[in-house]
Structures are given as C-alpha cells and as structure tokens.
C-alpha cells in the first residue's frame, strides 16, 4: 500500500522512535508546527491502512508501527523494478550504478556488499 508524502514523513518518525505520543510527534515538526487535528487525521489514515496501532495510557495514546520500514520500502523497490525495469533486478542495478553519482569509494563499498551476499548465498 502506498503512503502519501506526509504519511511517509510521519511514519519515518514513528519508525525511528518506535513508540510515540502525540506530543512527541508535534514536537518533532519544525515551525510552523502542524495543527493537532492534522496529525490526528494522518494517524487515523495510518491506522486505517494498518501501518500503526496504539495503546491507551489515561487520556493519551501511544502509537507504534505495525509495518517494518524495511518491509515497506522493499515492497516499493520491487514494484519499481517490476514496473520500470522489466522485472529485472540486474537492469535496476545497472541503472542505479550508472545514473547516480556514486564515488569510487561508494562503488567499492557496493561491490563489497555484493561479494558478501554472493558468499552468503553460496553456503
């Protein structure tokens, strides 16, 4: 399921913190801070999409993620590979390494990651 940019921004904070109260969320935003009703609406949408749930503590709700960040983004990367690269991870990797401004050091680090993954899969 796709999140809006605002929903994704809020989820980033929730993923980072793990468990948050409304006051924590509002404090995380720069000035001018969004209205409490705006945050409440975003949280309600995230609940409806089954991305967050909450526990009640008195008059407060503590929100926590139901979806892991890695699961959300890996699904989107797989969708992008399917839709834009003919379902070919190799075409995606080729595009990524050529179209981004990776430094030689970053490419070497990427090569190490690939080499480690090859070793892991050979076992």
Beta strands 20-21; 60-65: pairing state:
antiparallel
- pLDDT classification of 81: cutoffs 50, 70, 90: very high
* Residues 18, 25: Cα–Cα separation, whole Å: 12
Distances (CA, A) of 68 to 22, 23, 61, 97, 98: 20, 23, 20, 27, 30
5-17 and 69-84 are packed helices; what angle lies between their axes, rounded to 10 degrees?
140
Cα distance between the two ends of the chain: 34
Average pLDDT, the chain: 93
Whether the pLDDT of residue 6 is over 90: the answer is: yes
- Structural domains in the chain, CATH included, are 5-65 (1.10.10.10), 69-122 (no CATH)
For residue 1, is pLDDT > 80? no
Query: Taking 90 as the threshold, does the pLDDT of residue 50 lie above it?
Result: yes
The mean pLDDT of 98-105, rounded to a whole number, is: 89
Q: Judge whether residue 111 has pLDDT over 80.
A: yes
Give the pLDDT band of residue 64 (cuts 50, 70, 90): very high
The alpha carbon of 81 is separated from its chain's Cα centroid by a whole number of angstroms, namely 17
Q: What is the pLDDT of residue 23?
A: 93
């Amino acid at each position: 399921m796709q999140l809006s940019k605002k929903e994704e921004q809020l989820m980033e904070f929730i993923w980072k913190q793990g468990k948050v109260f409304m006051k924590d969320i509002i404090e995380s935003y720069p000035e001018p801070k969004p209205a409490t009703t705006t945050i409440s609406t975003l949280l309600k949408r995230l609940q409806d999409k089954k991305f967050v749930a909450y526990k009640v503590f008195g008059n407060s709700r503590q929100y926590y993620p139901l979806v892991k960040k890695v699961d959300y983004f890996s699904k989107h990367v797989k969708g992008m590979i399917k839709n834009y690269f003919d379902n070919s991870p190799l075409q995606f990797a080729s595009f990524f390494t050529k179209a981004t401004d990776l430094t030689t050091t970053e490419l070497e680090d990427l090569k190490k990651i690939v080499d480690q993954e090859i070793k892991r899969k050979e076992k």
